[in-house]
Amino acid sequence: MIREPQILACSGVLYPPEGFRHVGVQIWQAMRLAGARRPRVCLIPTAVGDSREYIDGWRAIAASFGDVDVSHLQLFTQPNVPDVRAHLLAQDVIFVSGGSVVNLLAVWRAHRLDEILRECWEKGVVLAGQSAGSLCWHEGGVTDSFGDSLDALNDGLGFLPYSNGVHDDLADQPRRTRFREFVASGALPAGHATEDGVALHYVGTELHEAVSVLPDRNAWSVAPDGTGGHDEKPLPARYWVP
């Protein structure tokens, strides 16, 4: 099967509302984009330090969506598969966990995973992930990897030539404001932000649409206005659940 390069860059749901039933559906969305009858889906949990608890929970959720071949790639203390490149190229979906995007990028580059993942993307493997697993594909974004103050990250993988903001609607985290400040000042290039539960579906390097596991949510297009401020435009997200 020949597929165009696709990325599903997600904000997970940090604080699920009462009655929320769609945990893990962003994994399902990525599998649907792949279009395989029995999708092969690999988790890369580097951003959480290859947490065993996280891996086990994620694998159980992914397997709950039906006939799926689930695996994971851990890098601590060494790769758990004999040929990392061959394993990842054999997947239909690669899903990256949230966590520390700064640590993720450093470890990936040490293992040359940045090069391998670009090859996977170019060959049509759907790349997806939440939070850190969303930021990593872009030029940069806002991160708390260095501390609670929130900093501009500007050395992402750059598969997508935009900045990225995640968890863009949380009142108790100033990510929304900081993202817009960084874009306005030029610390980050123009880009897209996602409210909780929203994902950006890119085909090639173009934004195709925003999708969500929560109703009535938006993504946002944010660009500098040329006078030290910013312009923003809501991108209503299609509600997409099984």
The residues assigned a catalytic role are: 131, 167
Please state, in angstroms and as integers, the Cα–Cα distance from residue 51 to each residue in 44, 76, 85, 118, following that order: 11, 10, 22, 25
Residues 133 and 47 sit within 8 Å (Cβ to Cβ):
yes
**Overall residue count recorded for the chain in this entry:** 242
| Closest CA relative to residue 142, chosen from 7, 6, 11, 8 | 11
For residue 8, the 8-state DSSP code is E
Cα 101 to Cα 156: distance, rounded to the nearest angstrom: 9
CB atoms within 10 A of CB 16: 15
Cα 77 to Cα 42: distance, rounded to the nearest angstrom: 18
Please classify residue 124 by burial: count the beta carbons closer than 10 Å to its beta carbon, then call 0-12 exposed, 13-18 middle and 19+ buried: middle
Cα 223 to Cα 233: distance, rounded to the nearest angstrom: 9
CB atoms within 10 A of CB 77: 7
Task: Specify the residue for token string 């030290």.
Answer: 228
